[in-house]
Structure 1
Amino acid sequence: MGGLPTDNTSSTLALPSSQQKHETPTNKPAPETKPKKKICCACPDTKRLRDECIVEHGEEACTKWIEAHRKCLRAEGFNV
């Protein structure tokens, strides 16, 4: 063979710890909170109560349920 040394060394290169990339939660920007569900599927309980109230009594009489549903949607990550 040629004049190259043939010792058993790994072909990977180890970087010093100061040069390695470490991704930790402290140095990553916080991801935007995206809703995990579609808006139509989020908060089914408050949605049902809101809808029933509006059908039976009209929107003006149901502000309590409308606000409860909006609060639930905000908690799920929706901007309403």
Structure 2
Amino acid sequence: MAEATGNDSKPAEDKPKPCCVCKPEKEVRDQCLLFNGTEGKGAEKCKEFIEKYKECMKGYGFEI
């Protein structure tokens, strides 16, 4: 006799929510944009932090 598998399999979409990952990177990015602005030179100054955040999110399967 074969045993029933029950709840052994997890759904494919069992990844974390975007709000719960990359928190340190998000905080640094947000602080930079808050104090430097989101347009023009402000965004240029924060480009490094924005890219680090994007790379982190890609690691969890999120495209932004």
Could you say whether these structures have the same fold, taking a TM-score greater than 0.5 normalized by the shorter chain as the test?
Answer: yes
Cα shift at 1:57: 1.2
Given that 1:35 and 1:76 are in contact with CA atoms closer than 8 Å, whether structure 2 keeps it comes out as no
1:46 to 20, 25, 47: 25
CA RMSD of aligned residues (A): 1.8
Q: Tell me by how many angstroms 1:48 deviates.
A: 0.4
Larger helix proportion, structure 1 or 2?
Answer: 2
What are the superposed Cα offsets for residues 8-65 of structure 1, whole Å, 9 maximum, x if unpaired? Answer: xxxx6xxxxxxxxxxxxxxxxxxx7x56211111100100000000001123120110
Give the length in aligned residue pairs: 49
Q: Distance in 2 between matches of 1:69 and 1:77?
A: 13
In structure 1, what is the equivalent of residue 59 of structure 2?
Answer: 75
Measure the CA separation in 1 of the matches of 2:24 and 2:36.
Answer: 18
Query: Matched residues, percent identical?
Result: 33
TM-score scaled by length of structure 2: 0.65
Query: Using CA pairs below 8 Å that are at least 6 residues apart, which structure has the higher relative contact order?
Result: 2
Q: TM-score, normalised by structure 1?
A: 0.53
> Which one has the largest radius of gyration?
1
Q: Segments of 4+ in structure 1 off by > 4 A?
A: none
